[in-house]
Amino acid sequence: MIITVKVRITVVRKRDAFSNNGDIEDNEGGMRMREPTTWMKDYVSGEGLGSSKDEGNLALMMSSDPLHYEEAVKDASWRLAMDNEIKSIEKNKTWMLVTLPVEVKKIGVKWIYKTKYNKHGEFEKHKACLVAKGYTQKHGINYTEVYAPVARMETVRMVVALAAQRNWKIFQLDVKSTFLHGELDEDVYIEQPKGYEIKGSEDRVYKLHKALYGLKQAPRAWFNCMENYFVNEGFKKCPNEHILFTKWNKEGKILIVSVYVDDLIYTGDDEEMMSSFKCSIMHVFEMTDMGKMKFFLGIEVSQQNDGIFICQKKYALEILKQFGMLESHEVNSPIVPGSKLSKDADEVAIDESYYK
């Protein structure tokens, strides 16, 4: 057996004179070599970094969230989270236990576990979500329309800018078990969730009256439900942004509401209208009152007397932490002007999209 060993040898020439611009002269007056400036040490590429797939696997291994029911059921906090999810589903009258019709296929379900953190990175709660395996659905049989609009970032910024200009306050609501509110037009049957089978009826299935996470038509069903509420409450839908609703009273006061799936922000120039709206929508949907808008779609919002300030500090810090650059020094330019880059054919290939 022949073993081949590659050895990298670095030859360092003796040098004792440094020029002001970083050039190095040897004692024999030979050719000059360029040495990187001190701050360039913060920008080392291609060493110690694996492929995006390797880093993704490492992040997955470091996650403390369970991947399977058998793992989660051993922890009391995750069992409580699953109990709360089942209670929410049953309270909302989402399903009914029936016998599976002949020649009809049931859809499988699985548990998804996620630890929730606040904007400061502190633990908030454990969330267990029962998700349908929607990839087994067939168009025209157990789903049809799936499209549902969401707020564009331009719309959110416009609402924030308008509130800042007119010195309004922006408030936020969070819908609990969002998709469970959407009513279904199709006949959909799912298996009983693992750990919550009905004794003596293990062979039966649930027929869904309302949507469940993972179903292809779940976003559309939720949007239809939310849209019907606003229309019935006298709101007008923006023709160019279908998730932006406005309402005027007799005195000419206005209430503006923007919806992004389960997050809802609202503002206006009449406190009574806003208070009445909050009570009304929380009576129809189970919601959490988040108070003033502070954190929305990854953006931190600070509402002060002299204006509204937005930033993405938390997101930026997470990116720096992910790539091990929290301790790096800040510089005005990330590379020396005039530097020439060349391709290193011997380096490990990476996924370019990981850095885009």
3-state secondary structure of 352: helix
Percent of residues, the chain, with pLDDT higher than 70 = 81
- CA distances to 97, 116, 187, 262, 299 from 125, rounded to whole Å, are 30, 5, 34, 17, 20
Q: Which residue has the higher pLDDT, 238 or 47?
A: 238
Please report the pLDDT score of residue 61 as a whole number: 40
Q: Looking at the predicted structure, is the pLDDT value of residue 199 above 50?
A: yes
E-state strands within the chain: 15-18, 23-26, 33-34, 95-98, 109-117, 123-132, 171-175, 189-190, 205-208, 236-237, 244-248, 254-260, 263-268, 287-292, 295-296, 299-304, 307-311
| Per-residue confidence (pLDDT) for residue 281, from 0 to 100 | 93
**Predicted confidence (pLDDT) at residue 211 exceeds the cutoff of 70:** yes
pLDDT, tens digit (0-9, with 9 covering 90-100), for 242-278: 889 999 998 999 999 999 888 899 999 999 999 999 9
Q: What is the pTM of this model?
A: 0.63
Q: What angle do CA 170, 300, 56 make, to 5 degrees?
A: 140
Residue the block writes with tokens 């709660």: 125
Q: Contact at 8 Å (CB) between 242 and 149? A: yes
Q: What is the mean pLDDT of the segment spanning 199-225?
A: 89
State the alpha helices, DSSP H only, in 166-312: 218-232, 271-284
